[in-house]
Amino acid sequence: MAILSLQNPATGESLGTLAEATPEQIHQTMESARGAFASWSQTSLSERLDYLVRLRHYLVEHGEELALQISQDTGKVTLEAFMTEIFVTVDTIRFYEKNAHRMLSSQKVPTNLVLWPKKSYIHYKPMGVVAVISPWNYPFQLAMIPVLSALVAGNTVILKPSEVTPSTGLLIEELFRAVPLPKGVVSVLHGGREVGQALVTERPDKIFFTGSVATGKKIMAAAAEHLIPVELELGGKDPMIVLEDAHLERAANAAVWGAFTNSGQVCMSVERLYVHESIYPDFLALVTKKASALRQGYPDQAEVGSMTSPQQIGIVRQHVEEALAKGATAVIGGQFPVTSDSMFLPPTILTNVTSDMKIMQEETFGPILPIMTFSHEEEAIRLANASPYGLNASVWSRDKTRARRVAEKLESGNVCMNDVIISYANPYLPFGGVKSSGIGRYRGPSGLQAFTHSISIIHDPGTRKREVNWYPYTEDQRRLFVGLTDFLYARKRKWNRGVLGAIWRELKRLF
Ligand code: NAD
């Protein structure tokens, strides 16, 4: 049986060990989730929301303790853990309390006149067992929000949290024990890649995955074997475009926060900064001053905590070293002592970078802010879009029309104008990527409905003995359809007596 070690990355302190789930446990967990689905899917939405209200109260009452535990697991400062893990989860619960009834109730839709007297509606039906496979950078909320969304929609859930942050997986398991849900409704399977693979092999009814592009592709390939629907929330290389009429101080504050929050381990962090050449010297001076003032530490009295995953440090170092070797300049930071085993990386600003460097191409996922200039709007859009990723982007201008024009030309699932990252915080907005950043959306009405099968239901009163399109086929039917097509859809409406006669005779055949 494989064992995971629990460790505080900021201090190196060992927090114990945890056994990975065995194949037998994974199988039994799936059986139990399937068994629980039969009754959970029949509970009313109000009952399901009652559980969420209890969970919200628990999170509010224990929020600071929980944030500290998440900090111990990730090395992030506790204020960040509170704001981005606890607050966002609580806020999402309240959003569901207020809106889930509207988003999940059956929705009437119009029915074409030719289908008279039928009526149509969409019914949102739970899918079954949803597998949520989550990453380590926001190990609490990136697990909790999909889990809660799946539950609200009437599914049972199996969560496979990241093996890099197993303590948060344990914490989530305890949370659902503290706010007890019926047995089998939410289960947590601890472990790494093999446990994730085995979970997919158990054929859940939907897979909600957040993580890297490479793993996303593997999961999608495995899911294709059984045509399991997948939703993939993957990486990013998010651009920030600062136009010459932006509020410079605000943009500089945002660039520093957007690049260094959570030590840059954010799928939506600012990983490429494009600044108009006319404001570049002033802007660079501002971001340098602000970044130099950041305090690194743990768990508080600091802005920037430690890195969470030792593997990620290798990638960050490689990107920075390649950039420096190719002529980039580290305005601040940039030195990663080879011998040090510290998990704290210095916030780094790089200039003289070029689009062919890894630092401008691949996801770095560390506290690095590379900056390039542009001379006109179209060039900025072209540079921003020249990436395989498309998760989030930001555009900065005091001119709303101009900012919108640029925002709508960006190849990105989410765009912020005069802000960074924050689109995720609005639960009314769907979230997800384009290009290599993923498939599907969660959050917002469509994101909740994505945890259901949208069943199209059309209803005929059932009082006529047949329909015009049914057997036996007749010459009148042919005339009726050709005549109707001309009447309804031709450039110029045509109508003739022969068709009217055919319609009359066909109508009589209906009753
Ligand atoms: P990862 O892909 O290494 O792992 C994610 C999860 O998948 C983990 O739980 C892991 O155990 C599991 N896993 C790994 N291989 C598997 C397999 N073959 N089958 C089933 N499960 C498997 O990602 P990570 O390093 O934990 O997370 C960082 C990545 O996540 C970054 O690329 C980041 O951009 C991305 N991310 C995306 C979003 C988003 O919303 N789009 C949010 C956060 C993080």
Please report, rounded to a whole number, the percentage of residues in the chain having pLDDT higher than 70. Answer: 99
What's the number of domains the chain is made of? 3
205, part of any domain: yes
By alpha-carbon position, which residue is closest to atom 23 of ligand 1? Answer: 211
287, part of any domain: yes
pLDDT of 341 reads 81
186 and 329 both lie in a single domain? no
Tell me if 142 sits within 8 A of 483, measured CB to CB.
no
109, part of any domain: no
215 and 294 both lie in a single domain? no
**pLDDT tens-digit readout, 187-218:** 999 999 999 999 999 999 999 999 999 999 99
Amino acid at 48: R
- Ligand 1 mean position to 317 CA, how many Å? 20
Find all residues with CB under 8 Å of 19, minimum gap 6, and list them.
1, 2, 3, 4, 190
3-state secondary structure 169-191: HHHHHHHHHHCCCCCCCEEECCC
461, part of any domain: no
Nearest atom (ligand 1) to Cα of 161 = 9
Whether residue 24 is predicted with pLDDT greater than 80 in this model: the reply is yes
- Range(s) of the domain holding residue 391: 238-426
Q: What value does the mean pLDDT take over residues 30-53?
A: 98
**Residue 65 annotated in active site:** no
> How far apart, in whole angstroms, are the C-alpha atoms of residue 340 and residue 322?
19
Q: What value does the mean pLDDT take over residues 116-127?
A: 98
- Ligand 1 mean position to 415 CA, how many Å? 23
155 and 288 both lie in a single domain? no
Q: What is the pTM of this model?
A: 0.97
125 and 194 both lie in a single domain? yes
254 and 278 both lie in a single domain? yes
pLDDT of 310 reads 92
159 and 283 both lie in a single domain? no
> How far apart, in whole angstroms, are the C-alpha atoms of residue 154 and residue 452?
8
Q: Is the dihedral of CA 238, 242, 247, 250 positive or negative?
A: positive
> Which 8-state DSSP code applies to residue 137?
S
For tokens 């290389």, name the residue: 237
pLDDT of 338 reads 58
247 and 218 both lie in a single domain? no
**pLDDT tens-digit readout, 399-447:** 999 999 999 999 999 999 999 999 999 999 999 999 999 999 999 999 9
What SS3 class is residue 474?
coil
13, part of any domain: no
Tell me if 476 sits within 8 A of 502, measured CB to CB.
yes
Strand partners, 107: 122
291 closest CA partner among 336, 240, 331, 237: 331
Q: What value does the mean pLDDT take over residues 260-271?
A: 98
144 and 169 both lie in a single domain? yes
| Residue 493 to residues 73, 112, 451, 497, Cα–Cα distance (Å) | 70, 18, 44, 14
pLDDT of 339 reads 62
153 and 256 both lie in a single domain? no
225 and 297 both lie in a single domain? no
For tokens 């303590």, name the residue: 167
Q: pLDDT-derived band of residue 496, with 50, 70 and 90 as boundaries? A: confident
- Ligand 1 mean position to 136 CA, how many Å? 8
290, part of any domain: yes
276 closest CA partner among 440, 402, 364: 402
Amino acid at 511: F
Q: What value does the mean pLDDT take over residues 325-329?
A: 98
Name all residues whose Cβ lies below 6 A of ligand 1. 133-137, 142, 160, 162-163, 192-193, 196-197, 200, 210-212, 215, 218-219, 233-236, 267, 363, 365, 391, 433, 438
At residue 348, φ and ψ (nearest 5 deg) are -130, 135
- Ligand 1 mean position to 110 CA, how many Å? 41
pLDDT of 469 reads 95
pLDDT of 468 reads 93
Q: pLDDT-derived band of residue 495, with 50, 70 and 90 as boundaries? A: confident
12, part of any domain: no
> How far apart, in whole angstroms, are the C-alpha atoms of residue 417 and residue 184?
43
Query: Which CATH number does the domain housing residue 415 bear?
Result: 3.40.309.10
315 and 395 both lie in a single domain? yes
192 and 130 both lie in a single domain? yes
Whether residue 74 is predicted with pLDDT greater than 90 in this model: the reply is yes
